């Protein structure tokens, strides 16, 4: 969606701020022994507290309706992990994806965190994925094209020996969760690429595997896992294209932004 300065843009900022707050709160609640169902319930409670509703709960894909308020993906799970009675264990990594609808606008963000602590391999994967997100955001400036974001992410990830999931990409966002344009984390030669203009809002979200890029869908119809069983990480922000530097709408203190926004 392309916003003009005014009340709609402020409403979008509010929705993104709530999404960022809830992500911070859920991430802070992650610890060994907690179940993903407990985290999902907590997220639902916090979203309601701020006056919003989950952008994921009841989301339709064909005949399927997403049954959880969040996407909580553990270790080799890439995205769309379903909340359950599974207890998190020390050394797991958990990708937390939070989408919030507030006053008709959608904020979307994700982060992968360690459960108590993790291996050097897992920390390296998370660091590479998070840094690749900001490499992409640095290219989210008016006059560039989506492929400039995609190229920056792909080059950083692959230069560090990791792989990018191809089946799932970032997207435009605003009044709906998924809007045009798509924002791949890789460049497809010969494919057109949308121009970035002031007011455009994008959900930029690299999904990175420690091993090969191939993924498979589990029998639950939602959970995506790495085909080779390797670890996967996921980081996401909703970003506003401006006349100058990009504005990260889902960035919420106390953690300082790595970009001057």
Residue with tokens 């507290």, as numbered in its chain: 49
Give the model confidence (pLDDT) of 59-77 as tens digits. 999 999 999 999 999 999 9
Has residue 256 got a pLDDT over 50? no
At 188, the pLDDT band (50, 70, 90 cuts) reads confident
Give the pLDDT confidence of 192-240 residue by residue, as tens digits. Answer: 899 999 999 999 999 999 999 999 999 999 999 999 999 999 999 999 9
Half-sphere exposure of 18 (CA within 13 A, CB side): 26
Q: What are the Cα distances from residue 199, in Å, to 9, 12, 42, 219?
A: 8, 11, 33, 40
| pLDDT score for 259 | 47
Q: Tens of pLDDT along 12-65?
A: 999 999 999 999 999 999 999 999 999 999 999 999 999 999 999 999 999 999
Residues 6+ apart with CB under 8 A from 30: 39, 88, 94, 96, 113, 115
pLDDT tens, position by position, 134-160: 999 999 999 999 999 999 999 999 999
pLDDT band at 252 (very low <50, low <70, confident <90, very high): confident
pLDDT band at 254; cut points 50, 70, 90? low
pLDDT reading at 258 higher than 80: no
% of the chain exceeding 70 in pLDDT:
97
Phi, psi of 93 (to 5 degrees): -120, 145
Fold of 7-246: Creatine Amidinohydrolase (3.90.230)
Please check the confidence at residue 94 and state whether its pLDDT lies above 70.
Answer: yes
Q: pTM, whole model, 2 decimals?
A: 0.95
Domain-wise residue ranges, the chain: 7-246
Mean pLDDT, residues 107-132: 98
Nearest to 214 by CA among 230, 199, 203: 230
User: Which of these, 176, 171, 193, lies nearest to 237 by C-alpha position?
Assistant: 171
Q: Is the pLDDT of residue 261 over 70?
A: no
């Amino acid at each position: 969606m392309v916003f003009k300065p005014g009340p709609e843009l402020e409403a979008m900022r509010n929705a993104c701020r709530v999404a960022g707050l809830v992500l911070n709160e859920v991430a802070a609640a992650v610890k060994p022994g907690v179940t993903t169902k407990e985290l999902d319930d907590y997220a639902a409670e916090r979203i309601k507290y701020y006056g919003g509703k989950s952008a994921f709960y009841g989301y339709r894909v064909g005949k399927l309706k997403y049954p959880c308020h969040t996407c909580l993906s553990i270790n080799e799970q890439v995205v769309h992990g379903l909340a359950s009675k599974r207890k998190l264990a020390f050394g797991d990594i958990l990708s937390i994806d939070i989408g919030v609808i507030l006053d008709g606008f959608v904020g979307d963000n994700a982060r992968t965190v360690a459960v108590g602590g993790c291996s050097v391999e897992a920390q390296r994967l998370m660091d590479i994925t998070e840094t690749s997100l900001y490499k992409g955001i640095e290219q989210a400036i008016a006059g560039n094209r989506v492929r400039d974001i995609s190229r920056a992410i792909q080059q950083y990830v692959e230069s560090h020996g990791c792989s990018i999931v191809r089946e799932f990409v970032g997207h435009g966002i605003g009044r709906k969760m998924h809007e045009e344009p798509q924002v791949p984390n890789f460049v497809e030669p010969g494919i057109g690429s949308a121009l970035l203009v002031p007011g455009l809002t994008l959900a930029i979200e690299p999904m990175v595997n420690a091993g090969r890029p191939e993924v498979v869908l589990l029998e639950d119809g939602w959970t995506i896992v790495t085909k080779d069983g390797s670890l996967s990480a996921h980081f996401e922000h909703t970003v506003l294209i401006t006349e100058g530097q990009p504005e990260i709408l889902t960035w919420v203190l106390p953690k300082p932004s790595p970009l001057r926004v």
